[in-house]
Chains A and B, each alone.
Chain A
Amino acid sequence: MSEKVLMKGNEAIAEAAVRGGCRFFAGYPITPQNEVPEYLSKRLPEVGGTFIQAESEVSAINMIYGAASVGARALTSSSSPGISLKQEGISYIAGAELPCVIINMVRSGPGLGGIQPAQGDYFQAVKGGGHGDYKLIVLAPSTVQEAVDMVYGSFDLSEKYRVPVLILGDGMIGQIMEAVSLPEMRDVSKIKKPDWALDGKGSGSNRKIINSLYIEPDVLEKMNIKLAGIYRQIEENEVKVEEYLTDDATVVITAYGTVGRIAKSAVNILRSKGIKAGLIRPVTLFPFPYFAYEKAASSNNVKKFVTVELSMGQMIEDVKLGVNGKKPVEFFGRSGGNVMSAEDIVDFIISKEV
């Protein structure tokens, strides 16, 4: 770990990607993630990588498909409307079992929406987004340091399962500056290219083909069963969750990403007012930490859950699956690009206590 540097989230993420072995980026400008391509347009050529400003998000994600096909550690970045455009390509990448990393600095929607922070893309991120039976590994950083560490390790994670990784941030984490320790630069010459990656040497029986077309139902079903098996493995191995003061909590607040840290402040304020609050912050959204909610819901202390989101209520559906009817689950959300303060969360909870 190096000396701490003060960096904007978007730039820190971009640098972490390069240090994690990223040597290919394609993207299209959209607020609030523009510092990612701007940074990489300068940084990637310095390390012998490729930066392309594509003509559209659609083209960009297909460039990622191409670069991943030949074994490059490929990254794209966008924000909500742009990620919608990328969904076709993401489905193909998932279907062709290609690894890559996708960043969504979520802004408010639907439609052209606004450019301020939001969490309205949760369903799109964890329940599919594109067509077909596939999943992404979805990571939700709450601080710049966590984002840096996640992005740095995301290429290894994606290659391990041959499943794309989606970093689900928001405008806040893209724009915020924090002191971070940057991990050391990976020596890409020592990162082995996957053996399935195309190199042009194929001929006859050793030909390599990247494809998601399986016209025979039985063959495609077999493929889908294989993918489902990989997703089960990911659920077994990769769930991450932060729990804060949940042991004696009567009210469990739950939130992800930047809202998770705002909720943490709310827990502290509530505790100072004598209300035993705790926090469950899913770090991975797929796989989702259902067990943390099952455990808390089974505790005699816990009276209720409060889900806090920058949306009209999306993650709450997974929270309810975890709680499984054992305790009430309330919802507090802001939308349109408005961000709640810790005090807003506190006021909501106190108003419900009375």
Chain B
Amino acid sequence: MQNIIIAGFGGQGVLSLGQFIAYSAMYEGKNVTWLPSYGPEMRGGTANCSVVVSDEPVASPIIAFPDTLIAMNKPSLDKFVDKVKPGGLIIVNSSIIKDKVKRTDVKVCYINANELSLQAGNTKTANIVVLGAFMKQTGLFAKEDVIKSIEKIFAKKPKVIPMNIKAFEIGYEA
């Protein structure tokens, strides 16, 4: 089982990053829940979502202590950093967050998502860059399978598929 909290500003693709993980999980035959924060909190403020991936049917979709935190901005890191399970993973968008994580009992991955997304051709793909880093760090699903998922998710918008796959690969290799 993998419990993931993804948090950041509204507009950073936080909710869709969670959905990418959820879609990948479903395509891989796993059970998954994706639970977003909702309401006025999202508009210009912070947004977060909780994703639970499991071999068994998911009971609670509420995550008290995540295995992985993906923090896209500073307030999100501050809010959730102490909740991450010892031995867990924190992915930090270091394009925006300049601080270092002080905890020593977790694995931390810093990724310049915004700068790297430019290499893919669009800053909108920063969340896909982070998806790449997440899959590399956790090994939750194989690289090729996630790429297949990206193709399925964007099946109705085929033009954007190459850019997103590129962003994913950049994040995966970073």
Contacts and interface: CB of A to CB of B under 8 A. Distances in A.
Nearest to A5: B26
A264 B56 CA distance: 13
Interface residues of B, number: 22
Contacts of B57: 143
A265 B59 contact: yes
B33 A178 contact: yes
Interface stretch (B62-70, B89-97, B135-143): B62-70
Given A6-B19, A176-B34, A343 B65 contact: yes
Interface stretch (B35-43, B118-126, B154-162, B166-174): B35-43
B112 interface: no
Contacts of A258: 61
A177 B38 contact: no
B134 interface: no
B61 to A, nearest CB: 6
Interface residues of A, number: 27
Contacts of B60: 261-262, 264-266, 341-342
Contacts of B34: 6, 176-178
B32 interface: yes
Contacts of B40: 115
Interface string A271-293: 00000000000000000000000
B9 interface: no
Interface in B6-57: 19, 22-23, 26, 31-36, 38-40, 57
Interface string A339-351: 1111110000000
B59 A175 contact: no
A268 B33 CA distance: 18
A32 B23 contact: no
A105 to B, nearest CB: 11
Interface of B: 19, 22-23, 26, 31-36, 38-40, 57-65
19 contacts: A6-B26, A6-B32, A31-B38, A32-B38, A115-B39, A171-B38, A172-B61, A175-B35, A175-B36, A176-B35, A177-B33, A178-B33, A178-B58, A258-B61, A262-B60, A264-B60, A265-B60, A268-B59, A341-B62
